[in-house]
Amino acid sequence: MKKTIRRIVPVMLAFVALTTLSFMAKDGVTLRLRPQQGKTYTITTKANMMTMMEVQGQTMNMSQVYETRQSFTAKEVSDSQSIFEAQVEAIKMSISQMGMKLEYDSDHPEKTSPMLAGQTKEMEESIKKPVTITYDALGNFIIPSDSIDVFENQMRDVIIPFPENELTVGSKWNAKKTQSISNKEITVNMEYTVTAISKKSVDISFTGTVESPDLTGTYNGTASINPQTGLITNGTTKSNISMTLNEQGMSIPMTMIGTSTIEVK
């Protein structure tokens, strides 16, 4: 069971990174990424997830609570691209199963549960480690996302790809992204819909599907975008992911149902 939990933890965290995104009507808006140069933003992500597993004919439930905090600074901003320096500031998580509770808090590593020690080392190496990330004006990575660690790449929760055309209430656009998470090639297909527009915010709803040889799932949620900067300021995402974990010669079906929120200041 210890090995199973250790295998599951990075998958849960990855989907938190994946996971992991109301307006009054006005004229159309063209969204572009234009953060304030020199400003440092803070992302706070909170997630609650329930994992159901079938192990040797028995159903096991595991609940997880995660909270991460990341800062990112707009170092260079032009009409064509934005260069950010980002780093994870803190990670906190709690896992409960069969009356057992495992905890980790990067601000208090001495309190880490022994069973998580093998996983927290990787997390600790990502904390306070600056990384440079470049986006074009439409919110697309210029540097391939595969080169960015999943913990350092939470910025994808606040920067989404934009269409070139002007948007009005009811406008829709699609985005597709493929990357490797926990050694799994995953494709995410998203559809965004503008629900309202005002001077201070562009509200959207979104749905998405996840595709992989042994993983499928769906996303849906809402978010608010600052039309001046192109950054998401807050959002809520619900996810439902099904996959198979191969452990010690056994195939363990898993379903992960979660809700995450994000706030950017």
Q: Please give the pLDDT value at position 115.
A: 78
> What is the longest distance spanned by two Cα atoms in the chain?
59
- Kindly indicate the confidence band of residue 109, based on its pLDDT and cuts at 50, 70 and 90: confident
Instruction: Give me the half-sphere count of Cα atoms (radius 13 Å) on the Cβ side of residue 6.
Output: 14
Residue 125 has pLDDT above 50, yes or no: yes
Q: Which CATH number fits domain 2-21+23-254: 2.40.50, 2.30.230, 3.30.310, 2.60.40?
A: 2.30.230
What does the pLDDT average to over 109-118?
A: 78
Q: Please give the pLDDT value at position 146.
A: 47
Instruction: Identify the three-state secondary structure at position 198.
Output: coil
Q: What is the pLDDT of residues 155-192, one digit of tens each?
A: 778 999 999 999 999 999 999 887 666 666 788 899 99
Q: What is the pLDDT of residues 241-259, one digit of tens each?
A: 998 877 777 788 889 999 9
Q: Please give the pLDDT value at position 53.
A: 85
Q: Please give the pLDDT value at position 3.
A: 54
Select from 69, 73, 17 the least CA-distant residue to 41: 73
- Kindly indicate the confidence band of residue 143, based on its pLDDT and cuts at 50, 70 and 90: low
Q: Please give the pLDDT value at position 92.
A: 93
Kindly report the average pLDDT of the chain as a whole number: 84
Identity of the highest mean pLDDT range in 115-124, 226-235, 246-255: 226-235
What does the pLDDT average to over 57-82?
A: 92
What does the pLDDT average to over 186-205?
A: 95
Q: What is the DSSP string of 42-95?
A: EEEEEEEEEEEEEETTEEEEEEEEEEEEEEEEEEEE-SSEEEEEEEEEEEEEEE
Residue 147 has pLDDT above 50, yes or no: no
Q: What is the pLDDT of residues 24-33, one digit of tens each?
A: 445 799 999 9
